[in-house]
Structures are given as C-alpha cells and as structure tokens.
Structure 1
Amino acid sequence: MRETAAPGTAAATAAPDRARRRHRRRAAGIAAVAALLVGYDMGVISGALLFIKPEFGLTPFESGVVVTTLLVGAVAGSALAGWLGQAIGRRGTLLVACALFVVSSLLMALAPDYGWLLAGRVLGGLAVGATQSTVPTYLAEIAPKRTRGRFTSANQLMIASGILLAAIVNYAFAQDLSWRWSLGLAALPAAAILVALLRQPETPRWLILKGRAREARAVLDSVLPADEAAQAFAELTTASEPAPGPAATGWRTLAGSRALRRILVVAVLFSMAQQLIGINSIVYYAPTILTQVGFGTSAALINTVGFGVLSVLMTLACGWAVDRAGRRPLLIGGGIVLGIAMLAVCAVFAFDLLDTPAGQYLTLGMLSIFKAGYSLTWGPVVWIVLPELFPLRARASGVSVATSAQILVTVLLTLYFPDLVAGSPTGIFLFFGLMGLATAIFVAKALPETSGKSLETLDRPGSPSPRP
C-alpha cells in the first residue's frame, strides 16, 4: 500500500511548495522572454540593413533613420506604458506590446517600400518601449523578496540573449532577399508569448491597487509558501491604505508629492547614467572601434559575437550575485571598472597606439572587460532597482518616465557617436571613462540599498530614500 505523508509534515508541504515555485518561475519566465524581443529588434536591423540599403536605394541618412525610428518609437512606448500599466495592469501592457511586436514584424517583413518599413519600425519601437518599462516591474512584483534581484535580472539576460540571437539569425539569413525572414521571424515568438501570457496571473500589487484583494491573495497563495503569502498580503494591504487627502495614482501621484519628485529625479539620473557610460555606443559600433585600431573586418565581427556570448554569461552571474552582494556594491564597483576600461581605450587613441599590437589587444581587452563588467552590474541592476525605488501607486509611471529619459539619451548617442568618434575619439572615451567613475560616486551618495526588503517595506516612510 502506498504511504502518504501526514498533513503538516515537511513531506506534505514540499509538493505544494514545489508547485508554487514552478508557478512563479513560469509566470516570471514568460514575462522575461518578452524582453528577448527587445534585444532581437534592437540587434537584427544591423545585419538586415546590409541588404535593405541596396534594395530600397537608401542614402546613409535614410539608413540612420531606419535605426533611430525604433528608439524614437520606444520613447513613446515607454511613456504610454506608464498609463497602460496603471489602467490595464502589467500583464495587460505586455499583451499589448506582444501584439505590437507581431504586427510590426510582419509589416517590416512585407514592406514594399521605405515608408512601410519605417512604419513597422515605429510600431516595433512602441512595443520595445512598453516592454522595457513593464517587464522589470512585473518581475519585481511577482517575485519573493529574497530572490527579487535574481528574478528581475532575467530582463537583462533576455535582452542580451535577443541581441545574440539576432546576430546568429543575421548570419543564417545573409542573403539579399532573406532580410525579410530575419525581420519577420520575431512574429512567431511574439505570438507565442502573447498566448502564454493569457494564462499567467496579473501581479498582486496591481490587483491590490485596484481594490481586488481577493484575487491578489489568490495570486500570492499560488506563487509563495503559505506563511510568506500571508505576510506579503498583510504588508500589501497596509501599504495600499489611502493616505490623507484626495486619492491619486500614476502621473498625479508623481506630480503632487515633493518626496516622489525627489525620487523621480534620482531615478531619471540613475537610468540615464546607464547609457552615459557608453554601453550602446560600444554595442552598436564595436566593430568600427576595433577596425580603427587595426583589426580586420572579419576579426572585428567575430570579436563582436564574442562580446554577445560574454554578455549572456555575465548576466547569468549577476542573477547569482545581486541578492547576495547587494545592489550598491555591484553598482559602485561596476562604475569604477567601467570607467577605468574606457580611460584605457582613451589612452590608446591619446598616445597614438593605433595599428600596434599593444594598442589592438589593449583595446580588445578593455572592451571585453567593459562588456563583462556592464553585464554583471549596470546592465541588469538598473532594471532591478528602478521598480524598487517607487511606491506602488506611482511605480508604473515612475519607471516609464525613467525609461523614456534613458531611451532619449540612447537616441542622441546613437545619432552622434559616429561623428564624435571620428572627430575626437580621445574626447568621447574620456567622457565615458569619467562618467563611469561619476556613477560610482552618484550611487554611493544618492542610492539606498534595496536588497532583501519587500517592496512594501521600501514604501514605508521610515525607509531609506534616494537623496538627490
């Protein structure tokens, strides 16, 4: 006769706990995979443009517009996500984003001319911005406090994986007409994620915000052990009690509170700093930089793929380290390492070490250290911390404002970096190096440690808050 564990024993509770763990990992995993589409859309256009330019007869300016329209659309998508996240929820916003990914991918793949291609890129940008703002919030709000950093780091892991996948697809479809396949391929995972999201829960924080306490408790019971679920529900209901005065959420909360405006300033500066240290400039133009110091074109491209693999591996390492070491130590140490790496590349140009073995390998080594350090620290940790800075009523709007500011910086750097590095490579790498060191000081002075605390604990008035 088969033996069964007595109720209340460890064996009896182990199976339900395993089921809850699988449920929250599945919900978080499906949401995180949406971020893979962000990386793919950002990365795939570089290879596709090689064949789009001659087919449509694009000028260099028009080619640049194809790249930047995604980012311009992403600014609007990120801002829209702040409103959608409050109105229809985090999951609802991701459903809209996935639908936009499907439409934009098919529109680009079937584009008969330049105008239709741009329309597809703008729609893709809306999806990228909405996803980039919403996935970290969804992950932070569905995860247990002790592993929230690991869960939320999956966002950056998927972005890095998407960029790497785009490089592989570009290589596989390296033919004149196959660019349509590489652009249209994203519709398949986008549709699959959309269907999978329909069966996943909304975050309990948003449900509480909308007065749906019973549904919130059901979600907590499905993803957390019973004692943790009860504690989390009690903290949530306490944190959601209305403050004196007229009720406000989202944009009105941000605008109407001096304390929240202060947090918003810190969050925007923090988010912009992630780009001002130079990451996207390095990602987009690494082959150009390597050829400038004497590497051949094929060697430069192979090294760029190596950077992609390194990025994925180090982002995985961040998932292990961020809840153990804390957010602040990783950000401070990362800022110092990134700053030193960029200053070393600056020295290669300043002391005219171009086309020398020392200059070539110093540049390759420092770019590798930069990419590894970024992927371990500033890449994922910014997206972990941003949702942790804002209280529940202003979280979606606050993260969307910070993300929009970051994407605007990305647009400007993407547009002007080629001219800057051609005109004064020493100056631009000096700027990136000094910005890296400045970010370490900024974090030490202005950013609280958020590791190991529940989101509701961080909302309390007595909790450490950002200092502008």
Structure 2
Amino acid sequence: MSFYDRTKGTHWPMNDQPGTTGTISPQDDSSTSIFDATRFKIIAIGVIAALAGLMSGLDIGVVAGALDLFGKEYHASTIALEWVVSSMMAGAAAGALSAGWMSKTLGRKHSLIVGGAIFVVGTIGCAMSWSVASMISFRVVMGVAVGISAFTAPLYLSEIASEESRGAMVSTYQLMVTVGIFIAFLSDTYFSYSGNWRWMFGVAGIPAILFLIGVLFLPYSPRWLMAQGRHKEARQILLDLRDDPLTAAKEIRAIREQLETKQEGFKLFRTNPNFRRSVALGVMLQMMQQLAGINIVMYYAPNILAAAHFDAQSQMWCTAIIGLVNMLATFVAVGLVDRWGRKPILYAGFTVMALGMGVLAMLLQTGMTTQSSQIAAVFLLMIFCAGFAMSAGPLMWVLCSEIQPLGGRDFGIAISTFTNWMTNLLVGVSFLTLMQTLGTAGTFWLFAGLNALFLLLTFLFVPETRGMSLAVIEKRLMAGVKLRKLGR
C-alpha cells in the first residue's frame, strides 16, 4: 500500500501487504493531464469492448427489414420465418452457456476475440445464404457470437470499471446494442428500395472486423489476472486505469480477498440456498427484460406497422425512427444509472412500457383507419422503446453483473444470460402466431399486462445497488439478507 500526503497530493511507496508483489511508485495525481489521460483510456476501452454490443444490435435489427424480402424469394412459411428470426436466439443461448467456461479459461479478452471471429463467419454466411435451411444455420452461428459477447462484454466492463462508474460502463454495452439496431434499420431502409436483403446482412461484417482489431489492444481484466496468479500484471493495469494509486491498492486487496473463495459454480448452486437466490433473481431479471416486449418491436416492427395499414416504405422509415428513439433513450440510462439508482429508473421504465402497450392495444382495436391513429401508433411504439431503452434494456445487465457472488459469478451470469436468450427465442418464435391467434390488439394487451406485473416484481425483489461495492453486496447476500434489501 502507499502513504498519501494530502498537503502535496503525492503517494509515497510503503511495503505492501503480505502475499503481494511489487510496490506503488511515487506519483503526483494532481496533474490534470494524467487525470484526462486515465479517463480517455477508460472511455476508449469501454467503447471498444462495447462494440460487441454494436454487432449484436446489427444482428438483432437486420432481420426486421430482410425477413419479408428473404421470405418472398424462398417462399418461406410463417413458421419458417419465425425460425429465421429465432434461430439466432437458440445460438445465443448455446453461446451464453459456453461463455462461462470460456471467459474463465481463456479470459475475458480472448473470449471477446473468439466472439468477434464467429461474428464475421456468421455475417458472411447469412449474406450468402442459398436456402431457408442455410439462413437458419448461419443465424445460429451469429447467435453463438451474440451469446458469447452478451455474457463476456458486460462482465469485462464491470471488472474494468471503478465502483463509481460501473453502472454507466456496463450500460454502454446496451447503448451500443441500440446503436447497432438503429444502424441496421437505416441500412434496411436504404437497401429496401432495391430489395437487396444480402447487403442488409453483409454490412454487419464491417464493425465485426473493426472489433476484432480493436479488442487486440484491450487490457486483460485485472480480476481474471489475479485469479490466474498474475498479480503484477493486474496491479499495473489497475494503476493505469485508476486516478488514485490508493484506490488501485484498495481494489487489489478487495479482489484478492474475494478470490480466496474459489469458483464452484454448480456445486455452490446445489449446496448454498443464498446463491440459489441470486441465480433466481438473475433469471427473473432477464425474463422481465425479454417479456417486456422490446424484441417484438425490434424483430417485427414492419409487421406491426403493416397491421396499422402503413405502406411498405413507410414501414421501413418508421422502423428506423423507432430505432433512433431506442438509441437516444439509452443515453438517459447511461447518464442516470449511477445518479438516480437502479430501482427508480426501472419503476419509470415499466410504467411507460405498460401504458404504451396498453394505449396501442386500444388503438389497434379501433382498426387504425385514420392517419392520426397511424401517427399515434408510431408515437406509442417510440414511447415504449424509450421506456425500455432507459430502464430494463441496460439495467438488467448491470444488476446481473452485480448480484452474483464471486464463488459462483461465472455460473450465475451464464445462467441468467442463457435465460435471456431462451426467453428471447420464445418471444421471437411465437409472436406471429400470437398475432394470428389473439389478434394484434390482444397480443399487445398481453404485453401491457406483463409490464404492469414487472412493476410489482421490481418492488418485491430487486435491490438498489447504486454505489455499492461487489464485495458488500456479496456479503449481504450470503448473510441471508432479503434480496430487495441487498443494496441501499
């Protein structure tokens, strides 16, 4: 550790705690240039890692515009189209399960590299598909990459970030997902005039290649390095990423204490009821995120707008506008998550989503025959997306990265991420059938009711973790404190 002379703002080295390696060098942390350089470094790392979210967003959004064009060319049935959409989620579920072992064994950085390489293969394959079966197969490949990234990127960002910026850093991943969706919608709109669905898929290969290059320059996760016994490297990385060497030293000690608890995964799940509580909470949070209904808009926005009697080009442009709102609203979450806290934002988001879905269902029951009702429908979809993007979209990933104890961290996050994609698959594979069975209005009434239910579940079970260290959250969980009281 070090001695901090507050009169001079200087850190002087002292002998470190037993069992550590190296010392902290004298450093004048009052320098604005050093502070700015550190902040720039953190932002650059966050953006590069979060590019995994951009690629996921592109893969999620592209199918909205390409689906009908592809279906007409290959005469695909409704069920086949549902599986073209949902096959990606099946792959993502498999990717999420493998990502736990991969991130532990290969490390967070190398797992991101593997995910990026699979993105490139899947993207090129989808663009070159020659049948429904080949498209479904390559969508599965793309899904594997999405699942690996959805697990690894938030985990990596939470371990790179400081306690004060953790919420915003992890939210950056979801922000990039929304950026990717918006870019995909714009690309779909541009290529819809020529009907070229192959280029709709192909453009996603560009950021995949950039991501592969960028991730090579990322530092390793200090927590993973410590777990591998590479203490000196972890110390140096933290010194580079923190403004205050005392903060870095404190974090190193906290990580070392946590690492005394070995990763036991399934064994801990079988034997420890408190760990089962955190896993169950992670599962519930991810189900809430997906059953809120966001992906029925992301995957099927043109179909929804067709039910509101929009013509083909209007469907595409309105879908792009919805994607823009989805992206911009995510900035709200990134800016407020570490100021307002998690629960107030979730309350606001689920309220907005329940109202948006409910009023849209009422409009759809009227038949949507007037221009004013059509404009209102687009506005309500934008309101719904804004509510999701500022709340459940990024915050569920933040919370899931915070609530799992170190001893079962990889296992717990893998299970919650797997749940996310399986629930996503369920929504994607059933939505067109639901609309045919319940009617468009009835389907939206269903999702309005679910969002109202999620308000209650947030109150009963979700903790407020703003500004709390992962160590404190874990200590309270293992002491048997009620889930909603784990935080502040």
- TM-score norm. by structure 1 comes to 0.90
Please say which of residues 444-453 and 110-119 is displaced more in the overlay.
110-119
AA aligned to 1:379 is G
- Displacement of 1:451 in angstroms is 0.8
The alpha-carbon distance between structure 1 residues 282 and 113, as it changes in their structure 2 partners (threshold 3 A), is closer
CA contact (8 A) 2:129 2:135 kept: yes
> Hey, what does 2:88 align to over in structure 1?
70
Tell me which of 407, 410, 422 is aligned to 1:393.
407
- Structure 2 matches for 1:269-418, cutoff 5 A? 269-350=284-365, 352=366, 354-356=368-370, 359-418=373-432
Residue 215 of structure 2 corresponds to residue 197 of structure 1: yes
Counterpart CA distance in 2 for 1:92 and 1:463 is: 36
Please state how far the C-alpha of 1:279 moved relative to its aligned partner.
1.1
Q: What SS does the aligned partner of 2:338 have?
A: helix
Matched with 2:174 is: 156
Partners of 1:421 and 1:442 in 2: CA distance: 27
1:66-93 CA-to-partner distances (Å, cap 9, x unmatched) read: 2221111111111111221222222221
Matched, 1:466 2:474: no
CA RMSD for the aligned pairs? 2.5
Count how many residue pairs are aligned between Structure 1 and Structure 2.
458
1:171 pairs with 2:189: yes
- Kept after mapping to 2: 8 A contact 1:74/1:128: yes
What residue in structure 1 maps to residue 147 of structure 2?
A: 129
Give the one of 43, 50, 53 matched to 2:61.
43
Distance 2:129 2:186 in 1: 23
Q: Secondary structure at the match of 1:239?
A: helix
Question: Which shows bigger deviation, 355-364 or 382-391?
Answer: 355-364
Does structure 2 retain, via aligned residues, the 8 Å contact 1:209–1:393?
no
Alpha carbons 1:79, 1:401 under 8 Å: kept = yes
* 1:464 to 1:329, Cα distance in 2 relative to 1, 3 A: farther
Is residue 2:268 matched to residue 1:253?
A: yes
Secondary structure at the counterpart of residue 146 of structure 1: coil
**AA partner of residue 424 (structure 2):** T
Check conservation: 2:358, 2:445, Cα contact below 8 A.
yes
CA contact (8 A) 2:189 2:317 kept: no
Aligned to 1:214, which of 232, 237, 248?
Answer: 232
AA matched with 1:396? D
Alpha carbons 2:178, 2:327 under 8 Å: kept: yes
| Deviation by residue 1:119-161 (Cα, 9 ceiling, x = unmatched) | 3221111001111122111111111111111111111111111
After superposing the two structures, state which structure 1 stretch, 451-460 or 368-377, moved more.
451-460
TM-score, length of structure 2 as denominator length = 0.87
Contact 1:338 1:433 in 2 (8 A): yes
CA distance in 2, matches of 1:177, 1:282: 21
Unmatched tracts of structure 1, length 5 or more: 1-5
Asked whether the 8 Å contact 2:222–2:237 carries over to 1, the reply is: yes
Residues in 1 aligned to 2:364 and 2:385: alpha-carbon distance in whole angstroms? 19
Match of 1:438 among 445, 453, 460: 453
Greater shift, 197-206 or 291-300, is seen at 291-300
Call closer, same or farther: CA 1:355–1:134 in 2, change over 3 Å.
same
- The 3-state SS of whatever aligns with 1:324 is coil
Q: Which residue of 1 aligns with 2:246?
A: 227
Which string of whole-angstrom CA distances, capped at 9 and with x for unpartnered residues, describes residues 327-382 of structure 1? 011012211221122222222245x3532456434433322211111111111111
- 1:321 Cα deviation after fit: 0.9
Q: Which amino acid aligns with 1:265?
A: A
Between 356-365 and 387-396, the greater mean CA deviation after superposition = 356-365
Aligned twin of 2:19: none
**Counterpart AA for 1:207:** L
Find the aligned partners of 1:301 and 1:10 in 2 and give their Cα distance: 55
Relative distance call for 1:417 and 1:453 in structure 2 (3 A) is: same
Residue identity opposite 1:132 in structure 2: A
Contact 2:108 / 2:220 at 8 angstroms: preserved in 1? yes
Partner Cα separation in structure 1 for residue 203 and residue 210 of structure 2 = 12
Q: Percent identity?
A: 31
SS of equivalent to 1:200: coil
Paired with 1:285 and 1:108, the residues of 2 have a C-alpha distance of 19
Q: Report the Cα distance in structure 1 between the residues aligned to 2:75 and 2:436, rounded to whole angstroms.
A: 25
Whole-angstrom distance in 1 between the partners of 2:316 and 2:123: 25
Task: Output the CA distance in 2 between the equivalents of 1:46 and 1:359.
Answer: 23
Instruction: Verify: 1:455 aligned to 2:470, yes or no.
Output: yes
Distance in 2 separating the partners of 1:297 and 1:117: 23
Preserved CA contact (<8 Å) 1:263 1:465: no
Aligned-partner Cα distance in 2 for 1:96–1:223: 25
Change in CA separation of 1:181 and 1:129 when aligned onto 2, cut-off 3 Å: same
Superposed CA deviations along residues 252-280 of structure 1, whole A, max 9, x for unmatched, are: 33333211111111110111011112111
Residue 136 of structure 2 corresponds to residue 139 of structure 1: no
What is the CA–CA distance in structure 1 between the aligned matches of 2:484 and 2:9, rounded to whole Å?
A: 50
- Cα deviation code 1:287-341 (max 9, x no counterpart): 3333323444433332221111111111112111111100011012211221122
> In structure 2, what is the equivalent of residue 3 of structure 1?
none
**Structure 1 residue 112 displacement after superposition:** 4.3
The answer to whether the 8 Å contact 1:74/1:407 transfers is yes
Residue 48 of structure 1 and its aligned partner are, at CA, apart by 3.1
Report the Cα distance in structure 2 between the residues aligned to 1:450 and 1:263, rounded to whole angstroms.
13
Residues 12 and 333 (structure 1), Cα distance of their counterparts in 2 relative to 1, 3 Å cut:
closer
Q: Which moved more, 1:457-466 or 1:128-137?
A: 457-466
